[in-house]
Chain A
Amino acid sequence: MINTVRNTVLSVLNKNNYGYLSPSDFNLFAKQAQLDIFESYFYQYNYQINKENARQSGSGIADLAKGIEESMDLFSVTRGLNQNTDVAGSYFMPSDTTTGSDYYFVNKVLAYKEIITVGTTTSFLAIGTRLTDSAQRFTTLGIVAGDIVAVETATMGVQYLTVVSVDNNTQITTTGSVLTAAAFSYTIIKAGTQQNEVEKVTHSKITMLNNSIYTAPSTTYPSYSSEESLLQVYPNIITSAGRVIAQYFRYPRDPNWTYSVVTGGEPIFNQSQPDYQDFEVPLDDENNLVMKILQYAGVSIREADVYQFANGEETKENQQEG
């Protein structure tokens, strides 16, 4: 989609000799445009919900909220959170370094109600499927094939594996091949263990909530508050690797229109470049992308006509959608 968008933008700009938009400028404007559209999903969704509550929206194919929700779900990610071992019950919020993507909005946090055991791997096989912990008693603990192994890796965040077989008291064979080093923190969870939603509580309430005799957080009704890049779970006995999972909306990846050679002064599009990145918003937003990039381009080249044209088109479209 990115090449089509660029071609359309250039066509509009070139038609009236408004100027040329370099690939690097286009990529910058494309990023801004995509972010604008991405953020607008949340406002549009809320707007549509309000219209539904006012009985001004239909169902079936007239259900506009559903379409917006589908667009938002393209950015939905569910990942286990990395532990902050310095503080009991503390986990890192989703980020590029821990879960592989930064979060725009944490929709829900879940925690396994119970676990079987926790530990740290003491050795490994190159194949990466063996979980070995010389301090464990896997057979005695009743771990069976199908149980879940959450492993906090160094580079891939938390990975959820499945027990294939319990080889002996200190060794388990798992699915996947991530156990390629020792000293990985892991948690073993019984298959089918209930996950409970960890409720976000504001800082102004969390202290009182913890002191409440009726509603103090428990493993059945856990809570969390967040601060900087950390998420503090209550009760803080919820501590082990992979026990806490977040479903969040990540930011879209930065679009990158890549090219290989410049022929006749024109860069030739090449999507085989390793840093190529297409737009992630769905196809029905192509028009919005063009208009938004034109707005930015119009401002950039000081052409008020371009800006006004794009802005007017966008306003018209918004009115239709409303």
Chain B
Amino acid sequence: MAYISQYQYYENGGAAPEDANWGSYQYVSLYDIVNNFMLMYSGNHNLVNNEERFKVLFHAKRAVQELNYDAFKEIKVLQLDITDQYRFVLPSDFVNWVRVSVYKNGLLYPLTENIQVNYAKAYLQDHQAKILFDADGNALSPEFSDIDIDRITGQKKSIYLNSGHSFDGYEGYCYNGAWYFTADVAGGWFALNTETANANPTFAIDKTMGVINFSSNIGSGSVVLEYVSDGMENGDDSKVHVNKMFEDYLYAYIEYAILQSKLNVQEYIVRRTQKRKSALLRNAKIRISNIHPGRLLMSMRGKDKWIK
């Protein structure tokens, strides 16, 4: 990729969209990675020789994916209103979630993942609990299972201390002849299960169905999902890029990946490339972590604060 002028950078040369090149300098494209590798690391006098370009492309993409999973700090954020079934369909490039929040009254409320499931698949059964099948021998399923229906209709109770809890609003409750207290009655929270002590709605991710199911007490909220993708940009290779901090690591990774699966490469060479790859990854991670003195200073300013 050629260097661009300031005019090209700031205003895309007068073309739309104006912001097409903003921030582009921090990245190196997949095309450049593959091209540079073939040019500099592959050939008659290199460790990598007689290897097809598609193998280099494959390993480059795999490296980009792995980096996207944990090394890059490039979180994608998507805000959507949830459906009337209290569901949020996962984005098309979703790989894993980082944080789910509900956005209400100008504030982001981070939500807790429910440790229990709130969804299930079900089969239709007759009065003897026998499963019903169609003509092809496949089990018949209802649109929703009972647990789904209860969640959608607000019948499902929550073990979390939110509005879905069985004893929400009670100061104490009697159960099997014994009284239990959840509120600050006697000067402290006794026997509080901190794992479920959260007043916000909860969610559980049904990865197979590709949805996040929320507890019904979320209401008609707007949900913000922070997630990681694999950086493949929906198959558009021209948009795949990596931060320049990781450029050398990518070359090292491709070299290692090819050599470690090639016949008759001495083990010490494989080890050498493996060490180089690992060292470069560590360096890049440290660089990308942005440990600035200014940030540390801001964090350390709280150290003298008196805690009552």
Contacts and interface: CB of A to CB of B under 8 A. Distances in A.
A53 B54 contact: no
Contact of A199 (B31, B45, B52): B52
Interface in A136-166: none
A278 interface: no
Contacts, number: 35
Interface string B206-238: 000000000000000000000000000001011
24 contacts: A49-B44, A49-B45, A52-B44, A53-B44, A53-B45, A199-B52, A199-B53, A201-B52, A201-B54, A205-B52, A209-B54, A212-B54, A213-B235, A214-B57, A214-B61, A214-B62, A215-B54, A215-B58, A218-B237, A220-B31, A220-B237, A221-B53, A221-B54, A221-B237
Contacts of A215: 54, 57-58, 61
Interface residues of B, number: 14
- Across chains A and B, which 4 residue pairs bring their CB atoms closest together, nearest first? A215-B54, A49-B44, A199-B53, A214-B61
B36 to A, nearest CB: 14
Nearest to B52: A199
Contacts of A214: 57-58, 61-62
B195 to A, nearest CB: 40
A95 B62 CA distance: 40
Category for how many chain A residues contact B: 10 to 19
A121 interface: no
A220 B54 contact: no
A309 B255 CA distance: 50
A28 B62 CA distance: 56
A52 B44 CA distance: 9
A223 B53 CA distance: 10
A214 B13 CA distance: 32
Interface string B55-71: 00110011000000000
B237 A223 contact: no
Contacts of B54: 199, 201, 209, 212, 215, 221, 223
A197 interface: yes
A197 B238 contact: no
Contacts of A213: 235
B146 to A, nearest CB: 38
B238 A220 contact: yes
Contacts of A212: 54, 58
A197 B57 CA distance: 13
